Amino acid sequence: MDKRHDRVHHRPSVQRHLSSARQAALLFQVEDDPRRAKGALPGRRRRLPLPGPDRRLVIDLAAHPNVAGLKESGGSLAFVAEIVREVPERFHYFVGSGSVFYPGMEMGACGAILAVANAAPEICAELYRLFQAGKKDEARRLQLDLLPLNKALTETYGIAGIKYAQDLRGFAGGPTRLPLLPVDEKGRAEIAALIERMAF
């Protein structure tokens, strides 16, 4: 391994993550939320948790060939801009917040990994397709359409809301596990109205 990838910083967090990357026979995707940094990724990839959005740490890790990209869930467009201009072109920056899907791509993100896509996959996929095709006005309208559902599922009702929305869509979200509780009647009515408004 070229030691230039291990150059610079001696902070424990950098060295720990670089050590994992050096020893891996697969690619890492950096995850900025440790609560979500569990489980497998498709192909020969795994998640590498970060303690939080740390610009210098991400840039340092991006220089390593075994670090494939970042999923950043904070929703900061300034953070997108700070990162994408300083990382290698091969490094993939995915936004993790449905509220900034379109503007995140405008700022240089290559795509998204979204909780709301569990309930509205076709809307998210179409937004991405339209953006890539240069049909930005249409993509922007879809982003605006997606905002109320995204807010309800990720900010108001969380995992229980996502599961209920999946059930409504026929995706079999299933029951929540304790200590999480199911969405109450008011929440179910709100989510159902938002799903109906999306006119899938």
Please identify every residue annotated as catalytic. Answer: 71
Residue 184: how many CB atoms within 10 A of its CB?
11
Q: 3-class secondary structure for 66-111?
A: CEEEEEECCCCHHHHHHHHCCCCCCCEEEECCHHHHHHHHHCCCCE
What CA–CA distance (Å, rounded) separates 162 from 155?
11
Residue whose structure tokens are 């891996």? 24
What CA–CA distance (Å, rounded) separates 95 from 77?
9
